[in-house]
Structure 1
Amino acid sequence: MAIVNFRTDEVTQQALDELTAEGSTVSAAIRKALLDAARQKRRNFMRRESTALLNDAADLAESRAALRDMDDLRAW
C-alpha cells in the first residue's frame, strides 16, 4: 500500500473537516472520497456512452432488429 502525503488548501481542509466531523479518520475519509470520485467518474462515462448510443441511428436500428429476432423466441 502506498502512503500519500498532500497539502490541503482552505477549501480542501474545510471539506476534510466536514468528512471527519462525525469521527471518521482522515485516512478513512480520503479513501472513501477517492472511491466515491472513481465511482462517479465511471457513472459519468457510462452516462455519456449511453447518450451517444441513444443518438446513434445505426445502433438503434441494430437493437430493434435484435429485438424483432428475439421476439420469435418468446415462450408466451
Structure 2
Amino acid sequence: MGTLNVRTDEAMETALRALAGETRSRSEAVRHALLRTYEAMLIEQAAADAERLRNDSDDQAEMLAIQRYVGVAE
C-alpha cells in the first residue's frame, strides 16, 4: 500500500472535517471520496459508451445490460 501526501487549504480542511465527521479518520474520508469519485467516473464512461451504442441496433441488448449493471437504467 502506498502513501499519498496532500497539501490542503482551508476549503480542503472544511471538506475533510465534513467527510470524516465523528466516525472516520481523515485517511478513511480521503479514501472514501476518491473511490466515490472513481465510481462516478466509471458510471459516466459507461453512460457515454451506452449512448454511442444506442445508435447501433445490434448492440442495444448489450447496452441495456451495461446500463443496468452500473445502475444507470432500471
The answer, yes or no, to whether TM exceeds 0.5 is yes
The Cα RMSD (Å) is 1.5
Whether contact under 8 Å (2:53, 2:59) holds in the other structure is no
Q: CA 1:16–1:43 in structure 2 vs 1: closer, same or farther (change >3 Å)?
A: same
Counterpart for residue 40 of structure 1: 40
Return the TM-score normalized by structure 1: 0.69
Runs of 5+ unmatched residues, structure 1: 65-76
Structure 2 gap ranges (5+) = 61-74
**Residue equivalent to 2:16:** 16
Larger relative CO (CA 8 A, sep 6+): 1 or 2?
2
Instruction: Kindly report structure 1 stretches of 4+ aligned residues shifted beyond 4 Å.
Output: none
Partner Cα distance (1:43, 1:9) in 2? 29
Count of aligned pairs between the two proteins? 60
